[in-house]
C-alpha cells in the first residue's frame, strides 16, 4: 500500500536509543518511518529489541535518546499528550487474554472508548463498528472465555479498533492459531483501512500481509526493503537467525 505523502507519517522513529536499568543496551539508534496506510513487518530473532521498540511507540518506555512521533505528535510523558498517543497507537498483544477482562465481548470493546468519555449512541456505534470489522458482531453478548482462541484474538483486535487508532501494532498475530483462524485473521487485517506494524516470526504471514519488512537485530535496523526481496535472501536470513518453513521458497 502506498503511504499518504500529504500527511505526516503514522510513525517516525529517529535515532532511538534505550538502555535498561541493569545497563543492557537494547536499542542502538533506531530509525524507522512508516507512512500513513503502509503495512510493515518487524522481523528479527528473539532478543533483537522488537518488544522494546514497540513499547516506545506509546510511551510505556522512554527513550534514552532520540525521538518518536506518531501522526505528527511527539511521544512525551505529558499526561494529555500521552493519552492521545495511546489512543493513536493500538497494540494488540500476543495473548488476547491480556486484553479481555470484562463479562461480555461488547463490554470489553466499549472499555477504551468509554474511558475517552463516549456514552450512549456514540459509544454503541463505536462498538458495533469495531465488532463488524473483525466479524464478531454476533458474539457481542458472549463471555470472552467461552470463545475460541482465534475468536478471542479477533475481539482483542476490536478493542483496539474501537479507539480508531492511527497505527495498529500486532504482536505475533498468527501465533497459536489453527490454519482456518490464521486465514480468517489475514482476511480481516487486509481489509482494515489502518497503518499496520506487525511484529512476527511467521515469515510467510509477513509476506502475505506486508509489502515492506524491517529486520531488527541486536538493537539495530539491519535491513529494510520489500518483503519479497528480504525473504528471498537466504544469506541475510541466516545471518539474523530467521528461517522460512521447510519447503517454502520466495522468488523475487
pLDDT at residue 243 in the model: 95
Closest CA to 46 of 225, 233, 216: 216
If you search the block for the grid coordinates 490464521, which residue do you land on?
182
* Cα within 13 Å of Cα(199), Cβ side: 21
Q: Does residue 2 register a pLDDT over 80?
A: no
| Residue 151: domain span | 11-239
Q: Does residue 154 register a pLDDT over 80?
A: yes
Would 244 be classed as within a structural domain?
A: no
Number of domains in the chain: 1
Would 246 be classed as within a structural domain?
A: no
pLDDT tens, position by position, 161-181:
999 999 999 999 999 999 999
Residue 34 · residue 11 · CB < 8 Å: yes
Would 252 be classed as within a structural domain?
A: no
Would 90 be classed as within a structural domain?
A: yes
Closest CA to 163 of 101, 99, 206: 99
Give the CATH number for residue 83. Answer: 3.40.50.300
Would 76 be classed as within a structural domain?
A: yes
pLDDT at residue 252 in the model: 76
Would 203 be classed as within a structural domain?
A: yes
Give residue 215's pLDDT band: very low, low, confident or very high (50, 70, 90).
Answer: very high
DSSP state of 38: -
Residue 68 · residue 75 · CB < 8 Å: yes
Would 17 be classed as within a structural domain?
A: yes
Q: Quick one: average pLDDT of 14-34?
A: 96
CA angle centred on 45, ends 16 and 226, rounded to 5°: 75
Would 251 be classed as within a structural domain?
A: no
Amino acid at each position: 500500500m502506498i503511504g499518504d505523502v500529504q500527511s505526516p507519517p503514522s510513525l517516525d522513529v529517529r535515532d532511538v536509543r534505550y538502555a535498561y536499568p541493569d545497563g543492557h543496551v537494547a536499542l542502538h539508534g533506531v530509525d524507522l518511518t512508516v507512512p500513513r496506510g503502509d503495512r510493515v513487518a518487524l522481523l528479527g530473532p528473539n532478543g533483537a529489541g522488537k518488544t522494546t521498540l514497540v513499547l516506545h511507540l506509546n510511551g510505556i518506555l522512554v527513550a534514552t535518546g532520540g525521538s518518536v512521533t506518531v501522526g505528527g505528535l511527539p511521544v512525551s510523558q505529558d499526561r494529555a499528550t500521552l493519552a492521545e498517543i495511546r489512543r493513536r497507537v493500538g497494540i494488540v498483544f500476543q495473548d488476547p487474554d491480556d486484553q479481555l477482562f470484562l463479562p461480555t465481548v461488547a463490554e470489553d470493546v466499549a472499555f477504551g472508548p468509554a474511558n475517552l468519555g463516549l456514552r450512549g449512541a456514540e459509544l454503541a456505534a463505536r462498538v458495533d463498528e469495531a465488532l463488524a470489522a473483525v466479524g464478531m458482531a454476533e458474539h457481542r453478548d458472549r463471555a470472552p472465555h467461552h470463545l475460541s482462541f482465534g475468536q478471542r484474538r479477533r475481539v482483542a483486535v476490536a478493542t483496539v479498533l474501537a479507539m480508531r487508532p492511527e497505527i495498529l501494532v500486532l504482536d505475533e498475530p498468527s501465533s497459536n492459531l489453527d490454519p482456518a483462524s490464521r486465514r480468517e485473521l489475514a482476511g480481516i487485517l487486509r481489509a482494515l483501512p489502518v497503518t499496520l506494524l506487525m511484529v512476527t516470526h511467521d515469515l510467510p504471514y509477513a509476506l502475505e500481509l506486508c509489502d515492506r519488512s524491517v529486520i531488527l537485530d541486536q538493537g539495530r535496523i539491519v535491513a529494510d526493503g520489500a518483503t519479497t526481496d528480504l525473504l528471498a535472501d537466504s544469506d541475510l536470513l541466516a545471518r539474523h537467525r530467521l528461517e522460512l518453513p521447510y519447503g517454502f521458497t520466495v522468488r523475487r
